[in-house]
Structure 1
Amino acid sequence: MTLEQLSDSIDRKKAELGYSGTDYVARNSGKYRTQSKRDLLRNIAEAAAARGEKPKFDANY
């Protein structure tokens, strides 16, 4: 398989899953995150909110 064929295959699979472009993020439930990672994500979200901003990513914690 060439890189071009691989790229085409990945693009087809993304289309089947409803993703488009390069600005998607695979869904992650956060079910297996460590408590320290949950705390970090929460702190990032709270710091962004304090600045009146939205975090650059959505996180499940």
Structure 2
Amino acid sequence: MTKKQSKDQIPAFELDVMRTAFRRWVVEDNVPEDQWRPRARKLVRIMTGDDYVDPNKVEWIIRK
């Protein structure tokens, strides 16, 4: 039997894909750095379908 994944847990591979997508989005849209956090939260919400976004995941996605 497979264990159901918690909404708080995002597999490392998916998180890495989100980070790569985020970086491309920022570069292509020439997004100012002060808008990175809101955009990263939006991306995670879209990808997970969950309204709650772990701030640590956002920080990991936007770090340089």
TM-score w.r.t. the length of structure 1 is 0.39
The structure whose Rg is larger is 1
More helix per residue: 2
What TM-score, normalized to structure 2?
A: 0.37
| Greater RCO (CA < 8 Å, at least 6 residues apart) | 2
